[in-house]
Amino acid sequence: MFLLDRRGYIVDAVFQEKIVPLLDALDASAEKTKRVNVVKNIDGRLIGYDCKTIEEQYTCICDAPLPEAANTFLKRQIAGE
């Protein structure tokens, strides 16, 4: 299911609870909710996170903030502009 050469994955809503037993660890947010929407590969260990926004998902996977241009684009898409 996973390619371990990837930094991270965004998990579809259908699998957010089902994937939890397959992971090596969960962060505090995922421990509370028992669901993950981001899986990060850290040295071959799969860690689950429950990120609330697209910005959080990007930051979690890339270890950097979402670029402002992308952030502006996504906000316009969500607003229907």
Task: Tell whether 35 is covered by a domain.
Answer: yes
Q: Which domain holds residue 20?
A: 8-79
- At residue 8, the pLDDT reads 83
Say yes or no to pLDDT of 1 above 70. no
CATH code of the domain containing 16: 3.40.50.10860
Number of domains in the chain: 1
pLDDT over 60 (residue 81): yes
Instruction: Tell me, yes or no, whether 43 lies in a domain.
Output: yes
pLDDT at 2 over 70: no
Which two three-digit tokens encode residue 40? Answer: 């990060």
Is 39 inside any structural domain? yes
Please check whether residue 2 lies inside any domain of the structure. Answer: no
Judge whether 48 lies within some domain: yes
pLDDT on residue 5 = 56
pLDDT at 21 (0 to 100)? 96
Burial 14-45 (b: 16+ CB within 10 A, else e): ebbeebbeebeebbebbeeeebbbbbbbeeee
What pLDDT, in 10s, does the model give residues 30-80? 999 999 999 988 888 999 999 887 777 777 777 777 677 776 777 777 777
Count of all residues that appear for the chain in the document: 81
